[in-house]
Amino acid sequence: MLPHPFPLLLLNRIQPAIVLIDHGHFQYNTVALGLSLWSFYFITKGSSFYNCMIGSFLFCMALNFKQMTLYYAPAVFMYLLGRCFFSQQHWFLRFSLLATTVILSFAILWWPFFLYPFSDSSTGTQLTSIQSVSHVIRRLFPFQRGLFEGKVANLWCALSTKPISIRSRIPAQIQPLSALLLTLLLLIPLCIKLFQTGIQFKVFDKKDDKESHNQREQENSHLKLLLLGSTASGLTFFLASFQVHEKSILMALSTISMLFIDNPHFVSWFSIVSVWTLWPLLTVDKLRLAYIFSNTVFCMLVWTYSMFNNRTAKFELGIISKVTYKCVFPISYLLMMSLHVAEFALQPPNRLPDLYPVLWSVFGCSLFCWSWLYCSHELYTEAKKIRGSMDLKKMD
């Protein structure tokens, strides 16, 4: 799947959005992203189920380092659940091993909060162990901040513009429930397909060369599927979940970047769109020059790679792919550039001071919605390939 690791590693290291957020906005997301990618590798690696336990442990480390890793959790959970049931024998043992791994990992990481409760900084009172843990959880999930924060390129922010103004139409007390229901609705088709693919995992005899080759092919296919599923899951949470920050798009960007060799055109486009939607935030952080420079370097490296690599990108020529490559790409590039020029040359009207951030939000949301559709389509296409490959191997 990854025949050229060096350009893949280089393109991932200089992703403009990740570089600007982690080294300009100082968020340090790369630790959690790196642990997540390692966990995906182990989860889909080898015939031994103990690799799934190692991957689960690494994912727990990523989740506890950065709560945004929850964006991957539905995809990872459903795929691992499918792996538990890939054989009717010992399914309960496999499920118990995974559950034990997760519980012990969380217990070890959270035990210090129980063992050393702290005092409330505002009142100075000593908290109990339970109160300390509850305080940390409230800080991790700030539901009191509202449906969204800032001009984010997600559905809730885009639909809150006039005349729709959905934020004012939905009572504040049911906004978290509305976000949860919409997120689950978009996740269901992805989770079902990942579960079905996990069940199809087959253990090959590595002593036989042909079987060993089949094992590697299966690992690569399942890894690609998990990366696509995690990307779609990340986009789902970004678009529909409660209290989303602009930087949350890094979750989807990190996983899809690993598929650059397979589909360089879409990954490059998605990378540019992701950092483009961060422009209002980067402007506040005074990172305009860094934005221009990092995008220039990224585009030059992508162009250089395409010049020296004659491989044709692998994608299905269905209706989604055709529309994406022939319509969405050129139109979106033109509009993104036009908005940059307009913001530089034209002052917004006095009655619309947030005109450009709102346009960034609405247009960015539409592009991310299409990206979700594209990734979901690719997920189902890849799952169909895996199923067809397994059927051929059974016939052999």
pLDDT in tens, 250-290: 999 999 999 988 888 999 999 999 999 999 999 998 999 99
Confidence (pLDDT) at 77: 96
> Any idea of the CA torsion for 153, 182, 139, 54, to the nearest 10 degrees?
-100
Confidence (pLDDT) at 13: 73
Task: List, in order, residues 6 or more apart from 310 with CB less than 8 Å away.
Answer: none
List phi, psi (to 5°) of 165. 50, 50
Confidence (pLDDT) at 74: 96
pLDDT in tens, 334-377: 999 999 999 999 999 988 888 999 999 999 999 999 999 999 99
Local confidence band at 317 (pLDDT 50, 70, 90 cut-offs):
low
Specify the 3-state DSSP secondary structure of 126: strand
Confidence (pLDDT) at 395: 52
Confidence (pLDDT) at 315: 46
Looking at every residue in the chain, the average pLDDT score rounds to: 87
**Measured between alpha carbons, how far is 332 from 335 in angstroms, rounded to an integer?**
5
CB atoms within 10 A of CB 33: 25
Which residues are bridge partners to 126 per DSSP?
119
pLDDT exceeds 60 at position 4: no
Please give the residue that has the higher pLDDT: either 127 or 247: 247
Local confidence band at 380 (pLDDT 50, 70, 90 cut-offs):
very high
Domain borders along the chain are: 5-395
Which residues are bridge partners to 119 per DSSP?
126
Local confidence band at 390 (pLDDT 50, 70, 90 cut-offs):
low
Tell whether pTM > 0.95. no
pLDDT exceeds 70 at position 392: no
**Measured between alpha carbons, how far is 84 from 221 in angstroms, rounded to an integer?**
18
Residues 128-143 have a mean pLDDT of 80
Burial class (CB in 10 A: 0-12, 13-18, 19+), 82: buried
- Please give the C-alpha separations between residue 349 and each of 153, 188, 280, 343, 354, in angstroms, as whole numbers: 22, 43, 18, 12, 9
Confidence (pLDDT) at 206: 64
Please give the residue that has the higher pLDDT: either 191 or 145: 191
List phi, psi (to 5°) of 205. -85, 110
pLDDT in tens, 36-78: 999 999 999 877 889 999 999 999 999 999 889 999 999 999 9
**Measured between alpha carbons, how far is 295 from 300 in angstroms, rounded to an integer?**
9
Percent of the chain with pLDDT over 90: 53
pLDDT exceeds 90 at position 330: yes
Confidence (pLDDT) at 137: 84
The 3-state secondary structure of 222-258, one letter per residue: HHHHHHHHHHHHHHHHHHHCCCCCHHHHHHHHHHHHC
Local confidence band at 310 (pLDDT 50, 70, 90 cut-offs):
low
Dig out the tokens for 231 from the structure. Answer: 């990307």
